[in-house]
Amino acid sequence: MKSPFLFLLALQGGLLLVGGGGMLWLGLPPAREAGGAGFWALVLLLALQGLEALFRRLFPASFREAEALHRDLALALKRSGARPPFLLALALAAALGEEVFFRGFLQSLLVARLGGLGLLAQALLFALLHPAPLRAYAYPLYTALAGLLFGLAYLYTGSLVPGVLAHFLHNAKSFYGLWRER
């Protein structure tokens, strides 16, 4: 495996460490209750798929550009020797790292200080971690809205589990689908 892709795993691991450390510092548990996590993960996953379908319809050229960027990444992963187990590990690392950092730590910190604006702020920062070329102009809005959905799920359930599960399944489906294309 080439170093840029190991960098992706290291980046997600860093988010997990910083976010987990921040949650410990704030005295936050990863979940107040475990009940209903699967149901809310499914609701969140369906909402993400609906958001994706909406953006595909409203911004077709921009969405094609974002998909081309993702296809290029998948092709580069495939050429580097990545196989489905690595893609699943990357999808899990992204789900854990991003949910623990953005929702568990950052959102909790920002909402405590800014109220509802903290929820929006974490979503915007989440979008900044998912850059795209200018031709994919709608992609930052899509990722910000996805970050808002993840944030609302955490705020509503008090648990990172639905967000981690939905995020993992969404990424795994995308990674594997793109990997199989070429």
Nearest to 139 by CA among 44, 24, 58, 41: 58
pLDDT at 31: 74
Q: Which amino acid is at 170?
A: H
pTM of structure: 0.91
**Residues 68, 182: Cα–Cα separation, whole Å:** 12
**Tens-digit pLDDT profile for residues 138-173:** 999 999 999 999 999 999 999 999 999 999 999 888
Q: In angstroms, rounded to a whole number, what is the distance separating the alpha carbons of residues 97 and 113?
A: 23
**Does position 131 have pLDDT exceeding 70, yes or no?**
yes
pLDDT tens for 17-69 read 999 999 999 998 877 766 788 899 999 999 999 999 999 999 999 999 988 88
Q: What pLDDT was estimated at residue 4?
A: 63
Where b means 16+ CB within 10 Å and e means fewer, 108-147 reads: bbbbeeeeeebbbbbbebbbeeeebeeebebbbebbbbbb
